[in-house]
Amino acid sequence: MDPTAPSLPHDDVHRLLTGMYDDYLGGDRAAIDARLAEDVTIFDSASDALVTGLEELAALRGRRTDAAAEPSAPAWTENALTVEDLRVREVGGVLVATWWLRVDGTDARGVSVSPELSRNTAVLQRGTDGALRILHLHEDVRQEAGPVG
């Protein structure tokens, strides 16, 4: 492969997504937000309402933090997020990406739980600065994490 050749959209999207999920695990909200358009729209798996823009995303994050502190919250910790079956196609100047996200974790005793699986769709576009950013993200949890067996 020619290292000077432009990378394929699939590779660019894969790097963006895996970087974003690494930032999530590392708690780096600013780095995540840098991968999103200012006016991003998100159907988040934790909220019925459409999230519009980074301010609404920050508010959703605050509600998630509050919910995680409740005694009824699931007692498991995410420790790996893996992009699987990524497909990318270009449509009219934007990229449409679909993938499965596997979220592995452990319970309070350090025992692995069955993974959470969600299917995701994103619309991405390059900004005037050349950076690829997510314009819209839709998450759909298909299998909740839980005890193994």
In CATH, what number does 9-143 get?
3.10.450.50
Q: What is the pLDDT of residue 73?
A: 57
Helices and strands, counts by H and E, the chain: 3, 6
Q: At residue 66, what is the residue type?
A: D
Half-sphere CA count of 10, side-chain side, radius 13 A: 7
Per-domain residue ranges for the chain? 9-143
| pLDDT, tens digit, 9 for 90 and up, residues 33-89 | 999 999 999 999 888 899 999 999 999 988 876 655 556 556 778 999 999 999 999
- At 21-44, the pLDDT tens digits run 999 999 999 999 999 999 999 999
Summarised one tens digit per residue, pLDDT across range 95-120 is 999 999 999 999 888 888 889 899 99
Whether residue 12 is predicted with pLDDT greater than 70 in this model: the reply is: yes
| Greater pLDDT, 39 or 2 | 39
| Burial state string for 55-82 with b = 16 or more CB within 10 A and e = fewer than 16 | ebbeebeeeeeeeeeeeeeeebebeebe
Q: In what order do the strands lie in the sheet with 36-43?
A: 51-52, 36-43, 132-143, 112-126, 94-107, 76-91
